[in-house]
């Protein structure tokens, strides 16, 4: 049992002033694995003050100095990659393959930010003026639990590359991942206050960060509902706000796609991270003429999908993060039935043989209408809805009939046709015949899936402000 009572402020682990204790259960066993004492508003104020102090020096660093810091962070996080992988599995049941990927990504994003900064012009000309890209100031980085290590590191990497000191608030549901990452980052030996990390409730520590005049920029990843609160809270002090929010991604299978390669990929996208991924392709759109064939394929694969111990490399779907998430997903499966969708595989309750743990049966519905709750809301669990479309226009209409627009997938054997369709989809990213991301390209949502972009040049610029100097 671990027992964390510290925040990382001004270069040291210090006892938190808050006194709320939260117990964390291993979601695969429902056994307690540790407790954390959450920080409060006073802790947040201490962290903001430390970052403000560090900003004075960090804001004047050169590109070379920042690249050096990023490389030190990359190396320090890489050393702890096994611990990051294990924390990801223990704390929210991420299957081992996914947890392994996250643990590598956590260090790789510092290398990516260094590479981006290397070739980026911080000073340039526009007409007779000189434009200087300056750090926007102290950044508040607020992260969810579903890929905590990766989100903490990628936000920190972009902020630091731009020369912004930060106050990082991961989810109160991810203390173990946070602790392991904080220890790794500390080992890099960066100047005190350049980054500060504390856990706390959103309504308390999160709100303090979102309203503080000491914070110039918020980079938030989480739900659309919380993103709206943060945007409203930040406007009073005119904070720059980047929001990476909820998704409800469509996967469109065109009639020329090879189903033997397409369906396994589409299912991997739907059930990635146990369905707890903003980019999960949870709406599968297939030509009506191939619907029966697709359903048969899907049924064959999902029926044999291994659900269980996330440490087992054969496991495809591990447990959901906690009881609340389990109940939420059960609710949506029930609503799918009630609203008239046809259950293809899965359904309510735990999978056979798994009496403990927040395990859900991978569930697939067909005959889903776009007005049903399972079609409109992000379920954040392993639940897939299949829609039949009549022609390409119909597919685009169904895909775009959502308030969200984070990511979409197109599967086709004709690249030009797929690219044409991609241009019509309302999504920040469209992946064609692949589900792996491009980490140097911009990532973010349109519509209510967010504001702004992360990664690469766009992620760097989200922490920069253009200053114009023109003289007679
Ligand atoms: P959440 O919105 O409940 O919480 C996210 C973070 O916001 C947590 O750290 C939380 O403490 C904090 N928070 C809550 N209320 C706050 C407030 N009033 N002020 C400031 N901070 C506050 O989300 P979650 O349940 O942790 O994560 C799941 C959601 O995140 C899903 O909707 C998922 O789609 C989304 N997500 C999006 C992306 C993306 O890149 N678009 C990536 C991962 C997750």
C-alpha 296, offset from chain centre: 32
Angle, alpha carbons 244-248-253 (nearest 5°): 125
Tell me the CA–centroid distance for residue 72 and ligand 1, in Å.
28
The residue to which tokens 């930040």 are assigned: 234
177: Cβ below 6 Å to ligand 1?
no
pLDDT of 324 higher than 90: yes
Whole-angstrom distance between the N-terminal and C-terminal Cα of the chain?
Answer: 67
**Dist. CA 138–CA 168, nearest whole Å:** 11
Tokens of 471: 């003289």
CA-CA distance, 394 to 424, in Å (whole number)?
A: 12
Nearest CA to ligand 1 atom 10: 202
Q: Is the pLDDT of residue 147 over 90?
A: no
Six-digit token string for 28: 């695969």
Structure token pair of residue 166: 């930060």
For the chain, domain boundaries: 2-245+449-469, 250-439
pLDDT tens-digit map of 270-321? 999 999 999 999 999 999 999 999 999 999 999 999 999 999 999 999 999 9
pLDDT digits (tens, 9 = 90+) for 85-110: 999 999 999 999 999 999 999 999 99
Q: What pLDDT, on the 0 to 100 scale, is given for residue 66?
A: 98
Compute the radius of gyration of the chain from its Cα atoms.
22
Extract the tokens encoding 238: 């005119």
Structure-token pair, residue 435: 């589900």
pTM of the model: 0.97
Give me the sheet containing 250-253, strands edge to edge. 342-345, 363-366, 383-389, 283-287, 250-253, 407-411, 429-432
Whether domain 2-245+449-469 has CATH 3.40.605.10: yes
Q: Which atom of ligand 1 is nearest the CA belonging to 406? A: 41
- The mean predicted confidence, pLDDT, of the chain is 97
Q: What is the pLDDT of residue 217?
A: 98
With pLDDT > 90 as the criterion, what percentage of the chain qualifies? 99
Name the superfamily (CATH) of residues 250-439. Answer: Aldehyde Dehydrogenase; Chain A, domain 2 (3.40.309.10)
On the CB side of 73, CA atoms within 13 Å amount to 33
Task: Let me know: does 254 contact 412? Beta carbons within 8 Å.
Answer: yes
Residues linked to residue 404 through DSSP beta bridges, in sequence order:
447
Strands (E), 295-406: 342-345, 363-366, 383-389, 404-405
Residue 139 CA neighbour count, 13 Å, CB half: 33
The stretch 342-363 carries a mean pLDDT of 96
- Residue 331: half-sphere exposure toward Cβ, Cα within 13 Å: 11
CA 16 – ligand 1 centroid, Å: 22
202 lines ligand 1 (CB under 6 A): yes
Q: Considering only CA atoms, which residue is closest to atom 17 of ligand 1?
A: 202
Contact by Cβ (8 Å): 84, 184: yes
Distance CA 158, CA 458 (A): 9
Question: Which one of 222, 227, 232 would you pick to mutate in the ligand 1 pocket, going by the greatest count of ligand atoms within 8 A of its CB?
Answer: 222
Question: If you measure from the C-alpha of residue 142 to the centroid of ligand 1, how many angstroms do you get, rounded to a whole number?
Answer: 8
Residue of the nearest CA to atom 39 in ligand 1? 244
Strand partners, 132: 123, 467
pLDDT digits (tens, 9 = 90+) for 369-419: 999 999 999 999 999 999 999 999 999 999 999 999 999 999 999 999 999
For residue 250, what pLDDT is reported? Answer: 98
Tokens of 414: 């004709």
CB 433 within 8 A of CB 103: no
Q: What separation in angstroms does the CA of 192 have from each of 50, 187, 388?
A: 8, 12, 56
> What's the 279 CA to ligand 1 centre distance in angstroms?
14
Cβ–Cβ under 8 Å, residues 143 and 171: yes
| Burial readout 162-180 (b: 16 or more C-beta within 10 A, e: otherwise) | bbbbbbbbbbbbbbbbbbb
What is the rounded CA–CA span in Å between residue 18 and residue 5? 9
Q: Please identify, by atom number, the ligand 1 atom nearest to the C-alpha of residue 445.
A: 41
Asked whether the predicted pLDDT for residue 467 surpasses 90, the reply is yes
Q: What spacing in Å lies between the alpha carbon of 63 and ligand 1's midpoint?
A: 32
Give the pLDDT of residue 201.
98
Q: What separation in Å is there between the alpha carbon of 144 and the centre of ligand 1?
A: 4
Ligand 1 lined by 37 (C-beta under 6 Å): no
Find the angle CA(109)-CA(110)-CA(114) to the nearest 5 degrees: 115
Distance 28 CA to ligand 1 centre (A): 22
Parallel/antiparallel/unpaired status of strands 407-411 and 250-253: parallel
> Beta strand pairing status for 283-287 and 250-253?
parallel
Question: Is any atom of ligand 1 closer than 6 Å to the C-beta of 203?
Answer: yes
Do the domains at 2-245+449-469 and 250-439 have one common CATH topology? no
Other CB atoms within 10 Å distance of the CB of residue 78? 17
């Amino acid at each position: 049992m671990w027992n964390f009572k510290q925040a990382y402020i001004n270069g040291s682990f210090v006892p938190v002033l808050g006194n709320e204790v939260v117990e964390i259960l291993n979601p695969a066993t429902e056994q307690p694995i540790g407790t954390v004492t959450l920080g409060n508003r006073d802790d947040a104020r201490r962290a903001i003050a430390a970052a403000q102090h560090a900003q004075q020096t960090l804001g004047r660093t050169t590109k070379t100095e920042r690249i050096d810091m990023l490389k030190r962070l990359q190396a320090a996080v890489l050393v702890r990659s096994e611990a990051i992988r294990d924390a990801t599995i223990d704390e929210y049941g991420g299957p081992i393959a996914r947890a392994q990927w996250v643990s590598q990504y956590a260090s790789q994003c510092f290398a990516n930010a260094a590479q981006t900064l290397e070739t980026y012009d911080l000073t340039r000309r526009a007409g007779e003026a000189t434009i200087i890209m300056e750090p926007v100031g102290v950044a508040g980085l607020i992260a969810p639990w579903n890929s905590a290590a990766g989100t903490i590191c990628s936000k920190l990497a972009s902020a630091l590359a731009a020369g912004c000191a930060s106050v990082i608030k991961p989810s109160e549901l991810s203390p173990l991942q946070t602790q392991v990452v904080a220890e790794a980052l500390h080992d890099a030996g960066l100047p005190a206050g350049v980054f500060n990390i504390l856990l706390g409730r959103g309504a308390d520590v999160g709100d303090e960060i979102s309203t503080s005049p000491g914070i110039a920029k918020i980079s938030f990843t989480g739900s659309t509902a919380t993103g709206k609160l943060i945007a409203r809270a930040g406007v009073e002090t005119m904070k720059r706000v980047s929001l990476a929010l909820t998704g409800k991604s469509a996967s469109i299978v065109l009639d020329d796609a090879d189903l033997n390669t397409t369906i396994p990929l589409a299912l991997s996208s739907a059930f990635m991270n146990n369905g707890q991924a903003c980019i999960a392709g949870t709406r599968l759109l297939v030509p009506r003429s191939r619907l029966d064939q697709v359903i048969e394929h899907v049924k064959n694969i999902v029926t044999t999908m291994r659900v269980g111990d996330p440490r087992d490399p054969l496991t495809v779907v591990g447990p959901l993060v906690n009881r609340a998430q389990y109940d939420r997903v059960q609710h949506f499966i029930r609503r799918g039935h009630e609203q008239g969708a046809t259950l293809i595989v899965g359904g309510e309750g735990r999978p056979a043989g798994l009496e403990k743990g927040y395990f859900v049966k991978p569930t697939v519905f067909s005959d889903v209408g776009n007005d049903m709750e399972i079609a409109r809301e992000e379920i954040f669990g392993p639940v897939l809805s299949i829609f039949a479309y009549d022609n390409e226009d119909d597919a685009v209409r169904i895909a775009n009939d959502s308030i969200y627009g984070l990511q979409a997938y197109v599967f086709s054997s004709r690249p030009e046709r797929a690219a044409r369709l991609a241009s019509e989809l309302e999504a920040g990213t469209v992946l064609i015949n692949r589900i792996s991301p491009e980490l140097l390209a911009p990532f973010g949502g349109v519509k209510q899936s967010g504001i702004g972009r992360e990664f690469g040049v766009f992620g760097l610029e989200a922490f920069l402000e253009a200053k114009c100097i023109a003289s007679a």
